[in-house]
A and B are shown apart, each in its own frame.
Chain A
Amino acid sequence: MTTSGAQVNLSLKVNGQDRDVRVYPMDRLLDVLRNDLRLTGAKEGCGEGECGSCSVLLNGELVNSCLVPVLQARDAEIVTIEGLAQGPRLHTLQEAFLECGGAQCGICTPGMILAAFHLLEDNPQPSLDEIREGLSGNLCRCTGYVQIFEAVARASRSEPTE
């Protein structure tokens, strides 16, 4: 059991690497990723779980990292947008977002791509309605969503990157 209000040492597996951090239990996972681990792909938009720009995968589940106290991510496997590309080779979804114009200002893009990744893992050939539902927790104020949905549909038709 952790002691009161004090910092604790935790291990996280982030993008396949073991990372040790010294944190307060109520630090938000988003802040630990951005400030302690310098992974700034996850963005803070609303800070209240409405916009999805801080989305990451926590043990394979899409979550809003602004709503996760880091203690609850102890020993968990975390995937951020930085973990999708393999070296210089972009993930199929990232390629599709580029080709379809699915990113404009870019703030929502990391979360949007992770939400799409989570959707395609579960459902490799989603219908348009299923794409819309899978991304419904991720807000974009630039694109009007059409190019984003096209990008996800395109990625679902291509061969997997692996």
Chain B
Amino acid sequence: MRADPTEYELVAPGSLHEVTSLLEREPGGWLPIAGGTDIMVQYAAGKLAARKLVSIGDLPELRRIEVADGEVRIGSACTYTSVRKHSIVSQEFPLLAKAASWTGGIANQNRGTLGGNIANASPAADSLPALLVYEAELILVSARGERRVPYLNFHLGYKKMGLAPDELIRAICLPRRYAGYHASARKVGARNAQAISKVCIAALGRVAFGVVTDVRIAVGSVAPVPMRLTETEKLIVGRAINTEMLSSSRKAAAAEIRPIGDIRSTAKYRAAVTGNLVVEFLEQLRQSEAGA
């Protein structure tokens, strides 16, 4: 059943202050909508539970990318297009720029936002593994003020997150400390554009004299939330990349995830592919030193 527009309210107050005031008066009563690339799909299908929406996509406070010495701060309503075209983001955070480039087609990249990708909290969201490996922090805002929280563990369970009913994601902060890292991202799906991932990975690593000195690996579509493979990382750090290490990393990654079978893939396939993607990343990491 198609949605009936007469049953919905949509307001566009035009300033962040007015939006947070509205959320303060009726916490949880208004669903923020930015580019609408997820919400309007549910709406068109007649499946949007919220009846009152507040537009935040045009708030100037949320559309800026600010570059400071220590971090890059991306406003939550910045689109994938603005993220992938930003020179510093694409140079220093290539995993995020790459994920933005394979999220939907161009029209969806022009509308979809990074904050929306977080708040929609899909386990298959393409940009979220990159935020995990870069150890992003979120600035949350409400009429009570702002607070800053690590993005790691922000997703508490399927579509559940550490956001109060009167709060809004204001910005995503990325620390500028990954210049010397080898970065690798890959999406496995039926097709790159538009298709939702079966598995996607983002990984960062450093290697010296053949030994891994630091590593961060995150995967999407393999658990109720996008996840860092912290156990697998522990097994990798401090070791030389050789056949035995690759084999144990593959097994650890496949064991650490919690995949399900759904319309896009099976749990068994996702576990096998996750192991393969971790091995592929480690092989590239080894070569990155050889080539440097």
A interface residues, Cβ below 8 angstroms from B: 1-2, 4-5, 24-28, 47-50, 52, 55, 61-64, 66-69, 71-72, 74, 115, 118-119, 133-134, 136-138
Interface flags, B24-37, vs A, CB<8A=1, else 0? 00000000010111
Residues B36 and A69 in contact, CB atoms below 8 Å apart: yes
Instruction: From known contacts A2-B12, A69-B36, infer whether A55 and B107 are also in contact, taking CB-CB under 8 Å.
Output: yes
Residues B108 and A64 in contact, CB atoms below 8 Å apart: yes
4 smallest beta-carbon distances between A and B, as pairs: A137-B105, A136-B193, A25-B10, A24-B5
Chain B residues within 8 Å of A63, by CB:
107, 110-111
Residues B11 and A5 in contact, CB atoms below 8 Å apart: no
Residues B10 and A71 in contact, CB atoms below 8 Å apart: yes
Instruction: From known contacts A48-B44, A63-B111, A136-B193, infer whether A72 and B106 are also in contact, taking CB-CB under 8 Å.
Output: no
**Which of B35, B36, B58, B193 is packed against the most chain A CB atoms within 10 Å?**
B36
B6 at the interface (CB under 8 A from A): yes
Instruction: From known contacts A63-B110, A67-B40, A115-B107, infer whether A50 and B12 are also in contact, taking CB-CB under 8 Å.
Output: no
Residues B7 and A5 in contact, CB atoms below 8 Å apart: yes
B43 at the interface (CB under 8 A from A): yes
Residues B107 and A66 in contact, CB atoms below 8 Å apart: no
B55 at the interface (CB under 8 A from A): yes
Nearest opposing residue in chain A for B52, CB measure: A4
Interface flags, B1-31, vs A, CB<8A=1, else 0? 0010111111111000010000000000000
Minimum Cβ distance to chain A for residue B27 (Å): 18
Residues B11 and A28 in contact, CB atoms below 8 Å apart: no
Residues A48 and B41 in contact, CB atoms below 8 Å apart: yes
Minimum Cβ distance to chain B for residue A35 (Å): 11
Chain A residues within 8 Å of B263, by CB:
none
Query: How many Cβ-Cβ contacts under 8 Å join chain A to chain B?
Result: 108
B115 at the interface (CB under 8 A from A): no
Residues B11 and A1 in contact, CB atoms below 8 Å apart: yes
CA distance A67 to B193 in the complex (A): 17
Minimum Cβ distance to chain A for residue B136 (Å): 26
Minimum Cβ distance to chain A for residue B55 (Å): 6
Residues A25 and B11 in contact, CB atoms below 8 Å apart: yes
Q: Given A55-B107, A67-B35, A137-B106, 11 more contacts at CB 8 Å?
A: A1-B12, A49-B41, A49-B104, A61-B110, A61-B111, A62-B106, A68-B40, A69-B10, A71-B12, A133-B106, A137-B104
Residues B44 and A52 in contact, CB atoms below 8 Å apart: no
Chain A residues within 8 Å of B33, by CB:
69
Interface flags, B47-75, vs A, CB<8A=1, else 0? 00000110101100000000000000000
CA distance A69 to B10 in the complex (A): 9
Residues A69 and B55 in contact, CB atoms below 8 Å apart: yes
**Which of B10, B81, B107 is packed against the most chain A CB atoms within 10 Å?**
B107
B292 at the interface (CB under 8 A from A): no
CA distance A1 to B55 in the complex (A): 11
Number of interface residues of B (CB under 8 A): 36
- A–B complex contacts, Cβ < 8 Å, 25 sampled: A1-B11, A5-B8, A24-B6, A25-B9, A25-B10, A25-B12, A26-B5, A48-B41, A49-B40, A49-B104, A49-B107, A49-B108, A52-B105, A52-B107, A62-B110, A63-B110, A67-B37, A67-B108, A69-B10, A69-B36, A71-B55, A72-B55, A72-B58, A133-B193, A137-B104
CA distance A50 to B104 in the complex (A): 8
**Which of B7, B37, B40, B43 is packed against the most chain A CB atoms within 10 Å?**
B40
Residues A118 and B106 in contact, CB atoms below 8 Å apart: yes
CA distance A127 to B79 in the complex (A): 24
Residues B105 and A26 in contact, CB atoms below 8 Å apart: no
Residues A48 and B45 in contact, CB atoms below 8 Å apart: yes
Minimum Cβ distance to chain B for residue A55 (Å): 6
B194 at the interface (CB under 8 A from A): yes
Minimum Cβ distance to chain A for residue B285 (Å): 27
Minimum Cβ distance to chain A for residue B110 (Å): 4
Chain A residues within 8 Å of B6, by CB:
5, 24
Residues B8 and A24 in contact, CB atoms below 8 Å apart: yes
Indicate which residue in B13, B40, B108 contacts A137 across the interface (CB closer than 8 Å): B108
Residues A61 and B45 in contact, CB atoms below 8 Å apart: no
Residues A72 and B12 in contact, CB atoms below 8 Å apart: yes
Nearest opposing residue in chain A for B42, CB measure: A48
